[in-house]
Structure 1
């Protein structure tokens, strides 16, 4: 096995003066942003939209003001990014579903214009507050039971009420009401769709440059390799999905190299380094394997398959354009299949307006033809049982075909949970694969403080998102199967829920 790669940055934290490789390639982004960009260009060209940033845990991990100049400079520098000839050749070879006309546009016409499209500012109070700072702690409203972090909406009355509750229960100080970063993105959907993932990655890196610096790269390669080895030994196939909440660019590089080492075969590449097992090699050996990475840049430079299909915004934007969420799932799937025929990217995301609503549409030829589904919220084991039952009861699918279907699990996974889900899928007779993010690219402990039981206190990742806020002049809504992942004003959420009742 290869030894741990040497980091070019400091071993203790990441000094604010250390140069960053983040966003120095247009491909330092997730594949599904590009697949959606191509679909948006085909179906919804020149559609105006906006995105809003939310920190779901500002009481635990708030970006310090000192980070703003660095963050602003990195965002501004995105204007210099271009698709290079070498990167285009990589996309042509690895992503043949991206058409020549789209790649011509991406290379020749597309440019980031952050000075016109992105606004970063500090906001006093409001917008990004949360009902509580840690899942599992007593609820802030005084009732019993656990509650995951829930982002605030733009409803000022609701924000005021939660602020009052936080003050009553000691969760907010005067300082916590200040210096909350607000990021908005606005422009034509196809033009601004690529900002989300790199800006999230930059916000996370900024926090660990200027905020929490009590950490080290030491052991990251070994930890990633050990996780990979466990998954491979269990028979589970898995991909790295960690760009948006990575600690920094260097962490993701080290971690992916560790995952490759843990999933390596005996053969070596031209440089004499071990390379990841191919699917056929792993299956023949009865092992799991690293399927690839969602990050196109690392797929390029580390010779891995790029992994990804669609995100919630494809359904959210479609619903807003149609003006009726009850029609959105079917329309989004139909238009996606027009852009990507023959199920080349045939994994459907189920939970944008709840899986219950999705399955009322996902029947017959849709259930039969789509390769599988992606789970991204709610109880994963219950979801598995639900999909098995749904497939088995559909006359165009049935039990035999169901066994060839696939579930991609991607919600808050760690190694243990992925292995348990894989074992359950094998037992119950359905395919399962895993997209693992933060557990790979932001799994750190603090260096200081007393170690309890041999383990130090976790240095937690930021819980941050950028969501499509409006599209074609209408507010966008996401319901999810997890209350903590909802987005949209109470009025818009209520309207969408009412529309969904027409599904029966």
Structure 2
């Protein structure tokens, strides 16, 4: 995205805001701020090394020489000027954003069925935890961390993932410390083995919500071990199966990681898709969300011709809106689409129907298309989706994040340190979203309640704009 922004929207002012979607469950302690601020400031020392550049040239041939020259010679983080970290103390009532897919306090779910006993247990647990955390919030006068990022879009676009990973690490250094690395390698290997045996291809997408760097290193090694090739690297180290090996054996495989550092040091494929901000920023620059999907896809294809990176994200302004644009030659030419909100099985059916009804695609070509699933996946859900995709005749692959890099239990009995059955040491549900671009507020609608972003007025305006599409 940085290369695309640099090409199409250079010198465009932008800002980002941090949001904790689970403030009652996991809130950053004030004691973590000096450590967090120092780690962010340390980013000013980062440089693209020659070795890293050679890796990008080899593994990412779609990155142009001019861009890599700029990245190596000119680009630098300037966190002192671009990143503001503040501690806010308010006096009003605590605002709680619902977490997509999570149960409500009345026991009902967001788009998910639950049996009554399980629902009752969840409700009781949540009410107990919420009561305690509300008391804490009241005592602390609702103290929260506020993080904003401002600068030219191409200069500040790379902050999101590393800062999110640092926030998560800070919480587990200074907040929830009741956990250990024990069993993480074995758990990651077992998850990988299950996916491989089921025939599903998958990538590691967990950097932004990882517990810390060491967790991701352990997990990556476990995933590679679970997707091991018969070949081995120097020194007897295992390497992940190639696509060709896996297909020949009728198995799934580890396609890569969205973390460029681990892709480099472990010599595996860096992999990912465009993110919501590409569409959000385009809409703000145009001043018209109804045209944003078409323009964003066109400009992306200019930067990455011949479908070098041909997976389109669908839900920035809802999938319904996206599919009104994604017709004809677009549906025919793009390799596939990415699912990131809403019911994944319903999405699969909807995309199959959309392709089948398009005269330039149809059922035969649809079977060669691909859906990348990336929303809140775990091993079980990914396998179920893969089996459904095989049955229904469409390709599927999976980007799995938090389930890989932040899947922990408390060492002691419960979250409150009481003896008994071990409970989950839950990950933070945190995001950094593009807030403004070219002086206009940015909006994301999503297919999920709880994932929207933008002011009430801006959201209403975008909904009015996309209502004009037919």
- TM, length-normalised to structure 1: 0.86
Q: Secondary structure at the match of 1:180?
A: strand
Q: Structure 1 93/179 Cα, relative in aligned 2: closer, same or farther at 3 Å?
A: same
Alignment of 1:297-336 (within 5 A): 297-336=261-300
Please say if 1:268 is aligned against 2:232. Answer: yes
Secondary structure in 2 matching 1:181: strand
Aligned residue in 1 for 2:104:
137
Instruction: Report the Cα distance in structure 2 between the residues aligned to 1:132 and 1:230, rounded to whole angstroms.
Output: 31
Counterparts of 2:97 and 2:267, CA distance in 1: 43
Distance 1:123 1:497 in 2: 32
CA drift at 1:450: 6.1
User: Which of 422, 445, 456 is matched with 1:479 structurally?
Assistant: 445
Distance in 1, Cα, partners of 2:333 & 2:292:
18
Cross-structure match for 2:125? none
Taking the aligned partners of 2:10 and 2:299, their CA distance within structure 1 comes to: 13
Q: For 1:176 and 1:390, locate their aligned partners in 2 and report how far apart those are by CA, in whole Å.
A: 51
Q: Which residues in structure 2 correspond to 1:92-491 (within 5 Å)?
A: 92-125=57-90, 129-131=95-97, 135-139=102-106, 145-147=108-110, 171=134, 173-175=137-139, 177-449=141-413, 456-491=422-457
Distance change (3 Å), C-alpha of 1:462 and 1:378: same
Task: Give the paired residue count.
Answer: 447
Once the two structures are superposed, what CA deviation does each residue of 1:423-453 show, in whole Å capped at 9, x if it has no partner? 000000000000000000000000011699x
Structure 1 residue 137 displacement after superposition: 3.5
The yes-or-no answer on 1:40 pairing with 2:10 is no
Question: For the residues of structure 2 that align with 1:170 and 1:270, how far apart are their CA atoms?
Answer: 51
- Once residues 268 and 421 of structure 2 are traced to their aligned partners in structure 1, the CA distance between those partners, rounded to angstroms, is 33
- Offset of residue 483 of structure 1: 1.5
Q: Contact 2:25/2:133 (CA < 8 Å) preserved in 1?
A: no
Q: Secondary structure at the match of 1:391?
A: helix
Distance 2:453 2:260 in 1: 28
Among candidates 21, 24, 27, match of residue 62 of structure 1: 27
Gapped regions of structure 1 (runs ≥ 5): 1-35, 149-166
Structure 1 segments of 4+ aligned residues over 6 angstroms from their partners: 167-170
Aligned-residue offset at 1:400? 0.1
Aligned equivalents of 1:450 and 1:45: distance in 2? Answer: 50
> SS of 1:86's equivalent?
helix
Q: Deviations over 1:330-373 (max 9, x none)?
A: 00000000000000000000000000000000000000000000
1:74 is matched with which residue? 39
Distance 2:433 2:245 in 1: 39
Q: Which sections of structure 2, spanning at least 5 residues, go unmatched?
A: 112-129
Aligned to 1:368, what secondary structure does the other structure show? helix
1:155-198: CA deviation from partner (whole Å, max 9, x where unpaired): xxxxxxxxxxxx99994641354320000000000000000000
1:494 maps onto 2:460 in alignment: yes
Q: SS at the partner of 1:445?
A: coil
| Matched residue SS, 1:484 | coil
SS in 1 for 2:453: coil
CA shift for structure 1 position 130: 1.3
Cα distance in 1 for partners of 2:242, 2:459 equals 44
> Shift of the alpha carbon at 1:455?
5.5
Task: Answer with 171-180 or 273-282: which moved more.
Answer: 171-180
Can you list the C-alpha shifts for 1:212-271, whole angstroms capped at 9, x where unaligned?
A: 000000000000000000000000000000000000000000000000000001211122
Provide the residue aligned with 2:52 in structure 1. Answer: 87
Q: Check conservation: 1:54, 1:128, Cα contact below 8 A.
A: no
Q: Distance in 2 between matches of 1:238 and 1:128?
A: 38
Shift of 1:145: 3.4
Does the 8 Å contact 1:376/1:411 carry over to 2? yes
Query: Per-residue CA shift, 1:402-434, capped at 9, x if unaligned?
Result: 000000000000000000000000000000000
Aligned residues: CA RMSD? 2.1
Contact preservation (8 Å) 1:56, 1:128: no
TM-score by length of 2: 0.92
Distance 2:461 2:251 in 1: 48
Quick check: 1:245–1:442 contact (8 Å CA) kept in 2?
yes
Q: Does 1:53 align with 2:18?
A: yes
Q: Distance in 2 between matches of 1:426 and 1:272?
A: 35
